Structure 1
């Protein structure tokens, strides 16, 4: 990456500055020796000494300021070479000792170390031409020595230049091995973190945006189990190629871990990032991978989450977390979709009173606890929230209640925070004590949100979402219209999602089977009017999904 190259160039510049200072000090000793200057006649030779001292100060000064003008670095280096030529011509033309020819060594060394063999050989050619021009005016009295010295210049240029280029090639390869994933040949996780740090720092200085895409392959375990990890690796390589081709020069592609990938998009907002994410999703879905028949829909798909700095997060850790939350939302709601970060908590918190916001943040944290204990509950709550909101919109419910139904649907299982992981994830049938414990989660959930007086109906939605229309539900056994509308909506969508979702101990029902099961309890467990509209909604959604596929 650029930081390694910058460090290397800085080290070389420092070495060159030190070398030039020492070189000119040695030149000073040589000057005094060859001109037999004593302290008594310093004034007489002052012109020569002043020129020497000025050049001594000028060259290191140019070297020290050159990193600040990286755009004109070559110009500065050529200027320094020109100064060396002036020094050489000045001393050699005044018939000083031919030892001053060693001044011509330093430009070759500089150009070889900084630019490689071609620039070094070109510099040697220019310096040799200068040397022979001086020899011409001296009638070639030292032609043999000039030829030998010119040969030394070319040899030095060839040797140091090739050493520099060899070092650069090896360093580039080692850097690639350190920064790129060995399988997919895109950036690895460490490089992803470094690049994200670099781009966020740049965006902060320039008041710009950075979007982050996280991508995860759906059901990839099925493929590895069916064909083995070697075939799975080939799919990962192909998917990395799709990412590189789709993103191009817009950003950086990295393997985040396993079958998860990341894309950093500097200077790109969340709306354009979502278009890029959708293009990636389509390319993956339309690609013909071998053996895709093992996937549920007969094709390889990916879920994608997107977040933007600084819109959704003000630092790297939060940006990754937000993109990860969007990814989980995409994965647990329906898979094969692109989700930009959105938090119902952010939306709902706006009308809250100041004294309620601290409690509200604690409730938000509870959802993360449930997520850690039981990923099914987390995904289930997101899907139920989406369906409950859509059904409320179709029933033309007032806006305030729609917001409360949405919030209540997301938190309807929050009471499960009081239930152990073993009970929540038990593969077999619950015993009586465990069942009685589980039936308490609506009560516990209602107690948790009870202090939020701004959303008093949310408590009722959570408390009564397991009540049946005929009064046979729990925890209170209320019936009919006494059950709040939000709770009646939630009763239907909660049951439907539970029926159609795969669990470790049972396969989910098909859409037709689930609707048939709901119909059996129309008017007993479920409000018949709401159920009729819900059936129309899911059939329309299924038809739209089939057309999209």
Structure 2
């Protein structure tokens, strides 16, 4: 509300630019008109303060400034407060309320004459002015300028600042008008460059993509020859055209696709659920809406998660590389996979594995699984064939067909053919037990995850065998022991969603460890719908929890950690420390057992650790 003590400081007289005034202030008057030229320049709401205050500094000096905007959205900005920010600054102050209530400016030449106490002032000052900010004829904000020393503000300052604000009305109209192209779901304007917030937006789409197991494609669309189409940033018609392009592109896409202006002459497109091939089709159709001439003047770089990137930041980077490749080759559109830069062993295999593990018996599914092995091993080919060439495969006297492989090490081939054969027999209808289909897939997937993480062949199979034995010694029945063993076999399947490059480093960084720790979530998601295997989700999710609460993913303690996960933690620890890794030496059997005893009660369940040591023996 208006403070009565400020009434006499409210300025009722007209603040006009008289000829005499213009003559006296000839040096700064041109600046009042320059601000109006900004009316066609893209600025963001958070830059309002810069817009006003940078110009004001050239017109009149001040030590501190406050800018309040209350319509159509609340916002405030400050400059020069130097640690004096008032606790309730977002609510305004007595000067703000007075300007709002009286719709007139305030001029205080000497604050000591006002009778206002220090507790009533937003900051300590000697003199100040406050002026209403208008949009059309409505007051939508307030500007307050303060001087702590030096000459006091006078009517001259009020006149200059008033007309600076009047000249800024057009830009305010564009910056905060609700009529601007605005995406309510993303809470951003789409017609102005938004590169600074794109990563935050894309992180949300990445999370959704991984949670729902669908691909996420993005594209950067860049205008090559702006002069050809009059898209000059400093000409109103060109600026309006650039602002309208996101909506024009959006009109050619699905309702839930997003088009955001990225930089001055480029646009970022988000295509949830689109493969890279689908993205090409969608973007081709969308650019046709722009007209052939403009469409042909655009270069597009496309990237897809998880096939070509691991996360949102990587997705933006590879989209840029795809765009650069298209420019160099002189082509209209390019995917990142066309650049030749992609390292297939670093591709996330999570979504493809989830699809495979949830598929019914079919030879094509097995070929999809073998293709993942081809990628991981960087082999030229490995596939099931009905006829030669290839190595013949038999199951219980039946000829199943041939496995052709080129560039695959023989030892890996022997492991693979051993464990994929039971699934192959089910796919051909020779074995009616559906459980053998899924168990064969799971075992083969465990070999793949071992290769991914740099473990020796059969690491997960050995862990599963030890888990079955330990479960029996813990008094579990045959069925539950088998469930725990199958779950132990699958415990590291989440590594398929993590880049191989992390595991091949000489030193693991904290950032790398955070990525590696995600494998428990990834593994749980891959297997959550495979009811036939009856995996213990607790074991897969929590097998890296520690008794003292220092583990992950939830930092559970003691008995809060599921029993199966505690058992798996003991077995996994023993096998991990006896396995050579690039970033540490392996321990021998005796050293490992002593290490288990040392970790007992801290990291490991003491009873289970003691039982396991008894089983494998000193």
Q: Structure 1 or 2: larger helix share? A: 1
TM-score bracket relative to the smaller structure: 0.3 to 0.5
Q: Structure 1 or 2: larger strand share? A: 2
| Structure having the higher Rg | 1
